[in-house]
Structure 1
Amino acid sequence: MMGFSSIGEKKSPLTKNSNLRFIIWASFNHLLLFLFSYYFLLLIFFFWQTEKISAVSVTPSTNLPVEGTSVNLTCEASGPVFTRNWMKDGSELTPTDNMTLSDNNRVLTFNTVNRKDSGEYFCQISNPISSDGAKYIMIVNYGPEKVQIKGPNKINVKGTLKLICSAESTPTARFTWFLNGTEIPSTSAEYIKEEVELSDSGNYTCQAWNNITERTSSSAVHGLTVTVSNVSVTSSSTDLVEFSGSVSLSCSASGSSLSFLWLNGSSEVTASDRVQLTDGGSSLTIITVTRFDQGPFRCSVSNPVSTGTSDPVNLSISYKLNALYLESFHRVNVNFLCSLYI
């Protein structure tokens, strides 16, 4: 009959190819699903079996590193380690010519450690399931260096002396003080002396000592001079007769490294047959005084940092007048009676 297809109608080749492609596509998807499931199960198994990172530590080869020596920092941990990374003071560590990383970054070596290597070192360890880290603060010991004394170079008698010694050192240096090569009682950075005496003048040095590096260093010499003060003159006699007596003047002063100069009025007194200067110039002796030795005498005392002058001292010298057959004795600053014989 017309309008009905035959039951035994054959399929076209196009239909067969479509079915084949569908079968291949379905099989490929099943294979991908199988592989994904397989690797996913393997990954779960791996993570399940992998131990977490724990007990991270950074251990130094020495707890007291000294500048100029070799130091190792070793980073260890429990658990499988995949990566190790080092940081210094919060930033990624950049190795220099002075340092090397070895054994998969497990060991950080400082070939010759220096003070700039001081700081906080952090080791970060990771594996696929965990991450942990540990830090170590390294303090490099060095010095002492650049030892110096600060303080006055001159001071008055009975003043208070304060000298300060400084040095570049880690840890802080200990100090020993010396005056003119002899140790004086002080072990701190400051040397304080109240009521300064003449014996406190001279050359000061301080010696710095580092108990970790076991090194010592000394400062340059610091000179201290006690300033001139209290200059005075005493006389063996102030009542003299011309051509028949001698007189000694003695000058005293407080201060160190003193030099003495005598003045008669405004003229310097120098040694001669009749004038003697002794005791380093502090004593002046006039033999067979004359009316021109009345003064005023002054003693000028100086040292490298100061000068002082005494009050004037006048001598009273009696002398004989012969003019017009006049005989009398004249005293300076004293009224006298003159008699004339005819």
Structure 2
Amino acid sequence: MVFPSAPPCTQPITWQGFLLTVETPKPSITSSNSKPSKADTVTLTCEPEIKDANYLWWINGESPPSSSRLQLSNDNRTLILFSVTEKDAGHYECEVKNPVSASRSDPVTLKVLHGPDFPRISPSKTVYHQGRNLRLSCFADSNPPAEYHWIVNGMRRLKGKEVHVPRITTKNSGLYGCFVRNSATGKRNLVFKEIKVVDASECSLGFYDLIQ
């Protein structure tokens, strides 16, 4: 018995399918040290770990600068900052991308604890005329801000950045010291300034002009 052969298939076959897209979840940043001190090492990690995703980092809205103190892991998911300084403080973000979507983390603010640096007393003037007002201010770069105390002729007198003595007399002459302390770093510093108060009898015309 001979069976007739089937007619050749001349109609095109159409395949219908679905393209599956996976949106990246919003990432977050974990830090190995939330309050690093100057010269510490900080490791920032972008979470979660996503297979076949690309990781990008942003520092203050820009790509990380080329620096021997910055190192990225092979997958860019981890950013390591060696020997941090005040210049490393700022806002850090990570971004996760795949071929169809991208998502960026909320910024994490890195604050580097440092200081206080050597304090400075202003103004530079050291000689004052009796009866005038004496106002001195002190500043030392520090994070968090330093605590300020004034030491006048060996006695701790005032707390704060400024010292103000109205209508000074010759008894107000002496050493004015500014003591600064950072409770977070445990560091402290001290500077002195010698102030001389003269009365009118000590002032020649030329010298009086200099101390006005």
Decide: shared fold, TM above 0.5. yes
Pairs within 5 Å for 1:274-289: none
TM-score norm. by structure 1 comes to 0.51
Letter in 1 for 2:89: S
CA distance in 1, matches of 2:81, 2:63: 17
Counterpart of 2:153 in structure 1 is: 180
1:74 aligned onto 2:45: yes
- SS of structure 2 residue aligned to 1:58: strand
CA distance in 1, matches of 2:42, 2:154: 39
Q: Which residue of 96, 102, 115 corresponds with 2:67?
A: 96
- The structure with the largest helix share of the pair is 1
Q: Aligned residue for 1:119? A: 90
Secondary structure, aligned partner of 2:84: coil
Q: CA contact under 8 A between 1:53 and 1:78: conserved in structure 2?
A: no
Give, in angstroms, the shift of residue 226 of structure 1: 1.0
Asked if 1:223 corresponds to 2:191, the answer is no
AA of the residue aligned to 2:69: N
- Say if 2:185 is the partner of 1:194: no
Equivalent position SS for 2:184: coil
TM-score for both structures, normalised by structure 2 = 0.79
For residues 153 and 118 of structure 1, the distance between their equivalents in structure 2, rounded to whole angstroms, comes to 37
What is the RMSD of the two structures over their aligned residues, measured on CA atoms?
3.0
Q: Which runs of 4+ in 1 moved over 4 A?
A: 78-81
Superposed counterparts of 1:1-342, under 5 Å: 37=15, 41=17, 44=19, 46-47=20-21, 50=22, 52-77=23-48, 80=51, 82-102=53-73, 104-134=75-105, 135-151=107-123, 152-185=125-158, 187-219=159-191, 221-229=192-200
Q: Distance in 1 between matches of 2:94 and 2:129?
A: 61
Q: How far did residue 156 of structure 1 move?
A: 2.7
Residue in 2 that maps onto 1:234: none
Instruction: Decide whether the 8 Å contact of 2:37 with 2:112 is kept in 1.
Output: yes
Q: Tell whether the 8 Å contact from 1:227 to 1:306 is kept in structure 2 after alignment.
A: no
1:81–1:126 contact (8 Å) kept in structure 2: no
- Bigger relative contact order, structure 1 or 2 (CA pairs below 8 A, ≥6 apart): 2
Q: Structure 2: which 5+ runs fail to align?
A: 1-7
Shift of 1:137: 2.1
Aligned length: 198
In structure 1, what residue type is equivalent to 2:83?
T
Tell me if the contact between 2:170 and 2:199 (Cα under 8 Å) persists in the aligned partners.
no
The answer on whether the counterparts of 1:55 and 1:78 sit within 8 Å (CA) in structure 2 is no
